[in-house]
Structure 1
Amino acid sequence: MGISSDNVHGLVLAVSSSIFIGSSFIIKKKGLKKAGTTGTRAGSGGYTYLYEPWWWVGMITMIIGEIANFAAYAYAPAILVTPLGALSIIFSAVLAHFILEEKLHVFGVLGCVLCVVGSVSIVLHAPQEKNIHSVKEVWHLATEPGFIVYTCLVVILVGVLIFRYVPRYGQTHMVVYIGICSLMGSLTVMCVKAVGIALKLTFSGMNQFTYFQTWFFTVVVVACCLLQINYLNMALDTFNTAVVSPVYYVMFTSLTIFASMIMFKDWDSQNASQIATELCGFVTILSGTFLLHKTKDMGNSKTLESPVFASPSIRSSNSISG
């Protein structure tokens, strides 16, 4: 099956997003290092980095990346856009090698290769996006029984996690915080996709902001993002980032693809072979991500031979919008 023009646009935007976001981590870290030499470090509660131009360049770069990621959902299905977020790891690794001199073990290189192979597999077999001519069509998809059931289950599970399990197990079980973020993240991406489609149609001359559905999706995006940010910050503050990042990526991406399959019926036009290939590509990306984080500190050991790249930093706040 050929790649549609919309999928190509979504692919370019998703890859651009990964480049910008992957670069932003390195640029911001460079700014934080420079700020730490002239004042109190951020890790010690200092805010001198706010006066450092490099940090602001990193923030602007991240914002550009998030905008590109937002736009990608307007053109391509979530099953294509969401897994490509792992490519930011590779760009971080390459830049860190040349700028920060943070070494990565040879198995980290294998992790990068797995991410690329998995991404290529998904890109070549991704379903074509359905033609949507109004945000009302998205609303119709969102109000079908299947997605309503999924939404109700997510809301119930999130409510149980927040009111029952967060007070008891939040500080000891990472899956509680990550579960809240991932479940809400799957709904966020569906609404982000709806708003993205509305903006695309509006820019083409068909104003979608006259419909209440567009504003409803926008409000849900804002509310879900705020909730995700809150609990993701709690997870990062409580647990090791090197553990939080890959677990969040796996749960968030899996649930987002599942939600997209229900709402947009991405796999209806594909056969079993194509679906199996996409799933294999996704598993390959997950394997590469796991390998990168499992071996990210090995290159710093003097007992290991020939580290060849830099340790990457995976995106942890961008997933919020999918």
Structure 2
Amino acid sequence: MMDTSESFKTTAMANASTDQPSVYDPHSLAADPAMAGMSHAEAVLIGSAVAVGGNLLISVSMNAQRFAHTSQQQQRDADGAEKSRSSYLCNWIWWVGLLLMVGGELGNFAAYSFAPASVVAPLGMTTVLANAAIAVVFLKETLHADDILGAFMAVIGAFLIINFSGKEEPSAGLSGHILIGYLKQPVLITYLSVELLAVALIWYIRETKNLKSVVLTLLMSSLIGSWTVIAAKAVAGLLRMTLRGHSQFGQPIFYIMIVILAVTAVLQVKFLNQAMIDNPATVVVPTNFVFFTVSAIIGGVVFYQEFRGLHMLEILMFTIGCCLCFAGVRFITLAHNAAPLQKSQSLSPYISAPPTLFGLAADENRFILIHGGSSSHDSSPSRGVPPDHK
């Protein structure tokens, strides 16, 4: 009788391991082999550290690329435009900056496989903070009271965000089966319908009324960017599960998410670049940071249920942390862009860089290679922000 009972249990367990239930609880760490031996708090700390490191690399890369462009322009001014025809592509510093940029973006991408999107996205303010520090330490810019206040608010905000983030990470070690279950959520279908309607309405207003409002442009970029974040987190999670020995390459949803990631990333950069061309950085930077971060948080909460298990007080503290980051970015941006720039500051890029893709910082020089030719902003190397086109 004992042998029969044990045989029945063994058979039941074997059947349970091969069956794919219609409703799977992705929040159960016991059911997630990729999370074995790692708590959610540890995963959030690792993801946050990787995101901060990636954003620091992005900041250094922006300064390196900006230095390469301004050095080239200064040489042209000294030798004459006709005598100097060298390209920034021949400058090794520009290529170092590009490699650092790629490394930083890969870091941001990897961070999504550990920490919730609602944590990684606000940490994009690290780039703002680092650029301000570089401007003061290396470019000998004046340290403003707004810098100190903004940095203090951003650091406190980041602490609150990390400390009061979701208690359970729904997509750690994400599998294709779990991801498909998320896509079937009624709330996600509603969210997607509302977002598509909003994008279509904004597009219609911009095209038919010929409105170039920075709010509409950045709102369009951020709405699309929320799906860039969702897809990036999905791809990163699937790759992490694969690296832990549970291959997801046979899942069609993996390749669908890669396509969504690529398409939305290109569209997001397109609208963000348009906003940077048509408006001053003092307007674009803080506005886009707020829009993008809020869109990324909402996308993570709706799609990955990142606020599951949180109490109202924890959500309130998380929200306060985000608001402090927003305010910190605003203070730092205004402090530097309002100050007159000297010739010695020609290395300085935008003090604050709007997040796109996985935290990607927007610098007009980074689009020269894509569009060809030279940047229209190169003729004014001492400026840290693009002019406001009338």
Segment of structure 1 superposing worse, 291-300 or 277-286: 291-300
Distance 2:140 2:211 in 1: 36
Distance 1:56 1:313 in 2: 21
2:32 is the counterpart of 1:32: no
2:353 is the counterpart of 1:315: yes
Distance 2:48 2:322 in 1: 16
Q: Residues 143, 315 of structure 1: CA spacing in aligned structure 2 closer, same or farther, 3 A cutoff?
A: farther
* Higher helix residue share: 1
Q: Which runs of 5+ in 2 are unaligned?
A: 1-38, 343-347, 360-390
Distance 2:274 2:341 in 1: 30
2:280 is the counterpart of 1:240: yes
Q: Which runs of 5+ in 1 are unaligned?
A: 303-309
Residue among 161, 165, 169 paired with 2:202: 161
Q: Structure 1: which amino acid aligns with 2:331? A: L
> What's the CA shift for 1:158?
1.3
> What's the CA shift for 1:35?
1.3
Q: Residues 9, 278 of structure 1: CA spacing in aligned structure 2 closer, same or farther, 3 A cutoff?
A: same
Tell me the equivalent position of 1:149. 190
Segment of structure 1 superposing worse, 25-34 or 271-280: 25-34
> Contact conserved, 2:269 with 2:356, CA < 8 A, in 1?
no
Distance 1:120 1:276 in 2: 14
Secondary structure class of the residue paired with 1:39: helix
> What's the CA shift for 1:48?
2.8
Q: Structure 2: which amino acid aligns with 1:189? A: V
Deviations for 1:149-180, whole angstroms, at most 9, x for unmatched residues? 11122122212222332452443x11121111
Distance 1:7 1:268 in 2: 15
Deviations for 1:195-248, whole angstroms, at most 9, x for unmatched residues? 000110111111111111001111011110111111111111111122111111
Secondary structure class of the residue paired with 2:356: helix
Secondary structure class of the residue paired with 2:250: coil
> Contact conserved, 2:62 with 2:349, CA < 8 A, in 1?
no
Segment of structure 1 superposing worse, 126-135 or 14-23: 126-135
> What's the CA shift for 1:301?
8.5
Secondary structure class of the residue paired with 2:196: helix
Tell me the equivalent position of 1:20. 57
> What's the CA shift for 1:47?
7.7
> Contact conserved, 2:225 with 2:268, CA < 8 A, in 1?
yes
How is 1:132-147 mapped onto 2 (pairs within 5 angstroms)?
A: 132-147=173-188
Segment of structure 1 superposing worse, 111-120 or 4-13: 4-13
2:229 is the counterpart of 1:189: yes
Segment of structure 1 superposing worse, 265-274 or 216-225: 265-274
Secondary structure class of the residue paired with 1:113: helix
> Contact conserved, 2:63 with 2:349, CA < 8 A, in 1?
no
Tell me the equivalent position of 1:224. 264
Secondary structure class of the residue paired with 2:336: coil
Residue among 287, 290, 306 paired with 2:327: 287
Tell me the equivalent position of 1:59. 98
2:129 is the counterpart of 1:90: yes
Q: How many residues align?
A: 309
Q: Structure 2: which amino acid aligns with 1:136? A: H
Q: Structure 2: which amino acid aligns with 1:32? A: H
Q: Residues 87, 133 of structure 1: CA spacing in aligned structure 2 closer, same or farther, 3 A cutoff?
A: closer
Distance 2:242 2:292 in 1: 29
Q: Structure 1: which amino acid aligns with 2:144? A: H
> Contact conserved, 1:104 with 1:298, CA < 8 A, in 2?
no
Distance 2:275 2:237 in 1: 32
Tell me the equivalent position of 1:74. 113
Tell me the equivalent position of 1:11. 48
Tell me the equivalent position of 1:305. none
Q: Structure 2: which amino acid aligns with 1:129? A: E
> Contact conserved, 2:113 with 2:173, CA < 8 A, in 1?
no
Q: Residues 132, 311 of structure 1: CA spacing in aligned structure 2 closer, same or farther, 3 A cutoff?
A: closer
Q: Structure 2: which amino acid aligns with 1:188? A: T
Relative contact order (C-alpha < 8 Å, sep 6+): which is higher? 1
Deviations for 1:4-52, whole angstroms, at most 9, x for unmatched residues? 22112201111111211122222222222211122379xx9x9832222
> What's the CA shift for 1:185?
0.4
Q: Normalising by the residue count of structure 1, what TM-score does the alignment of the two structures yield?
A: 0.89
Distance 2:70 2:353 in 1: 19
Secondary structure class of the residue paired with 2:357: helix
> Contact conserved, 2:173 with 2:240, CA < 8 A, in 1?
no
Spell out structure 1 runs of 4+ moving beyond 6 A.
none
Deviations for 1:101-139, whole angstroms, at most 9, x for unmatched residues? 333422122101111110011111212413445122022
Distance 1:114 1:47 in 2: 43
> Contact conserved, 2:132 with 2:147, CA < 8 A, in 1?
no
